[in-house]
Amino acid sequence: MNHESRSYKMFKATNMTFLSLLVFAMVFPYLNVLAYAFNDSLDSQFGGITIFPRVFTWDNFRLLFENQEVIHALWVSIARVVTGTAIAVFVQFSCAYAFTLKGVVGRGAILIFLIVPMYFNGGLIPTYLIYSELHVSNTFWVYILPVSFSLYNMVIIRSYLYTIPDSLSESARMDGANDWTIMTRIFIPLSLPIIAVMTLWTAVYHWNDWTTTLYFVTDRKLYTMQYILMQILKESERVAKLMEEAMIKGIQLTSGGPAHTTPQAIRAANIIITTIPIVVVYPFLQKYFVKGVTLGAVKE
């Protein structure tokens, strides 16, 4: 029979109450945005929306996905996330494995050379000129190649690889295995937690980034969904401002498209579209995420 003191019961009750309030404070804003996204935009202007839509509608999402440019941009974003994440994780893991090898000549000097760009950046104009000279600007590879390597991620992966016993690689070398075999057959299977962490981090970056499109892409066929949604949001704000000015001047406007909705509704639908993939994927990677960060953070 479990006997608990009164003070311990009070502690548990206080702890559960505090954690429940904390969870509510974190979840409520997202549920509120979700309610606005599924609520009629004109009705939302009256306020009072909590976590349930008052007048349910799909119009806010239909307005976005009826645009064929949004659908095409969605496929571009998916291709960018899959390709960019796979290449980046492979490159970073390979570099991290190379930096764990004791026989690499000049390992410390190379690491210092790679650290310098983390603190000193040439700026936007030199970056644009370099991309132009390399002929990657205004191509799909401008999304992939420049961010294939991250020193920060590589260092984290390397810290994790140091937790794997050297005896495993030494025994494999005695059996005739080369570095490629050791990395793919031993280190990668044992490093799934940190690989999951890097996969999540990299995928989130590729999914959310729209500034690369703004700076380096002019071909509309290469526009990502984030950039298209940003344009739609700006357009809805412009139309709303024009309508507000017209109402002040006493002019009647009857226009279609974004005029039938509001910037707030478009913004809510935009947030839901951009966050749903991460919200869906994260629970499946959470156990690897926690394990990967904690195991790679401490070295005995």
At 259, which CATH number? 1.10.3720.10
Helix (H, G, I), strand (E, B) or coil at 187: helix
User: Do both 97 and 14 map to the same domain?
Assistant: no
* Chain-centre distance for alpha carbon 8: 41
* pLDDT score for 299: 46
Mean pLDDT of 112-137: 85
Mean pLDDT of 49-72: 82
Q: Which residues have a Cβ under 8 Å from the Cβ of 72 and sit 6 or more positions away?
A: 221, 223
Where on the phi/psi map is residue 259: left (φ > 0), alpha (ψ -120 to 50), or beta?
A: alpha
**Both structure tokens of 40:** 């009629």
Of 28, 57, 86, the domain-final residue = 57
User: Do both 92 and 12 map to the same domain?
Assistant: no
pLDDT in tens, 137-159: 899 999 999 989 988 889 889 88
Range of the domain at 9: 1-57
User: Do both 44 and 175 map to the same domain?
Assistant: no
Spatial CA neighbour of 205 closest among 133, 272, 150, 140: 150
Which one-letter amino acid corresponds to residue 61? F
User: Do both 65 and 52 map to the same domain?
Assistant: no
Where on the phi/psi map is residue 254: left (φ > 0), alpha (ψ -120 to 50), or beta?
A: beta
- pLDDT of 91 over the 90 cut: yes
User: Do both 19 and 129 map to the same domain?
Assistant: no
Of 57, 78, 102, the domain-final residue = 57
**CA dist., res. 245 & res. 292, Å (int):** 54
| In contact, 78 and 203? CB cutoff 8 Å | no
| In contact, 273 and 171? CB cutoff 8 Å | no
Residue 280 CB coordination number (10 Å): 9
User: Do both 46 and 102 map to the same domain?
Assistant: no
Of 24, 41, 57, the domain-final residue = 57
Mean pLDDT of 50-79: 84
User: Do both 28 and 94 map to the same domain?
Assistant: no
User: Do both 201 and 245 map to the same domain?
Assistant: yes
Spatial CA neighbour of 187 closest among 58, 54, 93, 297: 93
> Between the ranges 29-43, 112-126, 200-214, where is the mean pLDDT highest?
200-214
User: Do both 32 and 110 map to the same domain?
Assistant: no
**Average pLDDT of the chain to the nearest whole number:** 82
* pLDDT score for 295: 54
User: Do both 146 and 202 map to the same domain?
Assistant: yes
- pLDDT of 216 over the 50 cut: yes
pTM: 0.78
* pLDDT score for 143: 93
Spatial CA neighbour of 217 closest among 133, 146, 137, 128: 137
Provide, rounded to the nearest whole percent, the portion of the chain with pLDDT above 90.
17
**Both structure tokens of 222:** 């290469």
Mean pLDDT of 259-264: 65
- pLDDT of 294 over the 60 cut: no
- pLDDT of 222 over the 80 cut: yes
Confidence grade of residue 254 (pLDDT, cut at 50, 70, 90):
very low
User: Do both 5 and 69 map to the same domain?
Assistant: no
User: Do both 167 and 40 map to the same domain?
Assistant: no
Question: How many domains in the chain?
Answer: 2
